[in-house]
Amino acid sequence: MWSILSSSLHLLVIPVSAGVIGYVTNVLAIKMMFYPIEFTGKKPYFGWQGIIPSKATKIAGDAVDIVLARLISVTELYTRLDPEEVSKELTPVLNELTEEIVEKVVSEAYPKVWETMPKSLKKKTFNKIQKEIPHIIEQIVEDVELHIEEICDVKAIVIDAFVKDKKLLNELFLRCGSEEFKFIGQSGLYFGFLFGVPQMIVWYFVQPWWLLPAAGLLVGYATNWVALKMVFEPVNPVKIGPWEWQGLFLRRQSEVSAEYAEVFAKEILNAKNIINAIIRGPASDRLFMIIQRHLKEAIDDTSGMSKHFVQFVIGTERYIEMKNNICDGLMDSLPNELGRIHTYADEALDLKRELEDGLNSLSPEEFEGILHPVFQEDEWILIVVGALLGMAAGFAQLLMV
């Protein structure tokens, strides 16, 4: 009996190696989801790019659709900006810019007019403009609110950020699914060993050369399939005797919500990115039209007697040209100064809390849609890759046994 047992001990290599195969194939399958970030090899067929980076545009679009449809309203967020607070942040720099630009434009374009204008009149004009600046800013902020959906394309902001920096997209899903990815790797070891036991028993009695490669293919396939199922199913908790079971990802709704909100609020939909997109995006013309209209009105309203004096000296057309030049100068300088309101805007929008609360309030069915679609569409690739790697490892098993 002992001799039979000792002579069969080498067969333990089968379940042990099956466990290793399950672990390695699962880990490699996960790595292949995210890496390499850019295509490596020879296009179009010989090479590989991580599944998530290769579909950055679509995945980012799906992610922001979920956020906009279920979690946040751009209009509602914008209303959190207090026009008075925005004015308080921008007024000092606009006071300085206005004086510099007005003096530069008028003195360069119409030196004689500028020399002729009494100093008291110049000073009075500057003072009146500066006194009106807080009111102008408040009007602009309120006016932008009426057109915020046209001016601020949140979907474009998110897609642009993720496509430009695919590492960021990887970070979002790696952080949200960290525990699940760890489980997928470890489960390959456990399930692989379990699947390897019947392999060992069959091999003890019959030893066709194809058995271990075929079993390796089955182990690679099954471990990936079972692991993915356990991550996302069942969606709602199910009682199994004294235990309750729910998909691992869904059980961590609170933790995942915090991670998702952190990445989105800090790296993507922060005040800096939103303001840059508004100013430099395709709808920026609408914004600049609003600002220019208010600036021109302000220049006319605050010019008072000086307006008539300048028009008398240089003519109405040239006065309008000068006013436009002043507005253009302010428009060119303003984007560089908006960094002053980033901190205030981030605090006012409080997007992290908004997203986290929204994600936590989703039903299990809705919450599953945050991460599962990334796997669902291409999970067959992960399973097939696991199966092929398992078959290759099965040939290695054959050599060892």
Distance of CA 176 to the CA centre of its chain: 13
Most confident of 47-51, 138-142, 238-242, 336-340: 47-51
Region 66-84: mean pLDDT is 76
Q: In this predicted model, what pLDDT tens digit does every residue of 274-323 receive, in sequence order?
A: 777 777 666 666 767 777 676 667 666 655 545 554 544 555 566 566 66
Tokens of 358: 């929204």
Listed in sequence order, the residues at least 6 apart from 184 whose beta carbon sits closer than 8 Å to its beta carbon are 26, 29, 30, 224, 227, 228, 231
Q: Quick one: tokens of 200?
A: 């060992």
Whole-number percent of the chain with pLDDT over 70: 76
More confident residue, 8 or 100: 100
Beta carbons within 8 Å of 103's beta carbon, 6+ residues apart: 114
CA angle 291, 293, 297 (to 5 degrees): 120
User: 242-287 pLDDT, tens per residue?
Assistant: 777 777 778 888 888 888 888 888 888 787 877 777 776 666 667 6
Whether 181 shows a pLDDT value over 60: the answer reads: yes
The mean pLDDT of 186-201, rounded to a whole number, is 81
Domain chopping of the chain, boundaries: 10-400
Distant-in-sequence, close-in-space partners of 328: CB < 8 Å, separation ≥ 6? none
Mean of pLDDT over the chain = 75
Residue 325, pLDDT score:
66
What is the distance between the alpha carbons of residues 343 and 90, in angstroms, rounded to a whole number? 13
Instruction: Tell me the C-alpha distance between 140 and 137, whole Å.
Output: 5
Q: Which residue has the higher pLDDT, 36 or 195?
A: 36
Q: Which two tokens stand for residue 46?
A: 């010989």
d(CA 9, CA 55): 48
Are the CB atoms for 22 and 220 separated by under 8 Å?
Answer: yes
Task: Please tell me the predicted confidence (pLDDT) of residue 155.
Answer: 79
Pick 95 or 138 by higher pLDDT.
138
Whole-number CA gyration radius for the chain: 32
Of the two residues 308 and 364, the one the predictor is more confident about is 364
The pLDDT of residue 90 is: 76
